[in-house]
Amino acid sequence: MSNNEKLLKFLSRIIESGVLTSQDLKKEIFNNIKFQKENVVNKLDLVSRKEFDVLKKIVQKQEVKLKRLSKKSKKGGKS
């Protein structure tokens, strides 16, 4: 018998005995999935959308400054 079958039998016995309702089971599964999702997100070291947008704006401003500096240096070298 596999672990999944054992788990299902265990859960079905608990539900039949009235100790655990289907709503309780739904909440428990939802919480377990949510916890697993949070673990994966933390392991991936992701940033929030807000943080990403702020960093993107900073990079864009720096690119504009670099373009201006390169244009000035080209003009200064020709004269």
pLDDT for 60: 97
Please report the pLDDT score of residue 19 as a whole number: 67
Q: Tell me how far the alpha carbon of residue 6 is from its chain's centroid.
A: 32
Q: Could you list the residue range(s) of the whole structural domain that residue 27 is in? A: 1-46
| Shared domain check, 61 and 36 | no
42 and 57 belong to one structural domain: no
pLDDT at 78 exceeding the cut of 60 = no
Domains in the chain: how many in total? 2
Give the residue ranges of DSSP H helices in the chain: 3-17, 22-44, 49-78
Indicate the pTM of the whole model. Answer: 0.43
Whether 42 and 63 share a structural domain: no
Q: Model confidence over 29-76: pLDDT tens digits?
A: 888 899 999 888 888 888 889 999 999 999 999 999 999 998 888 877
Residues 33 and 64 in one domain: no
Based on the fold, state whether residues 10 and 39 are members of the same structural domain.
yes
The answer on 57 and 41 residing in a single domain is no
Same domain (yes/no): 24, 4: yes
More confident residue, 50 or 6: 50
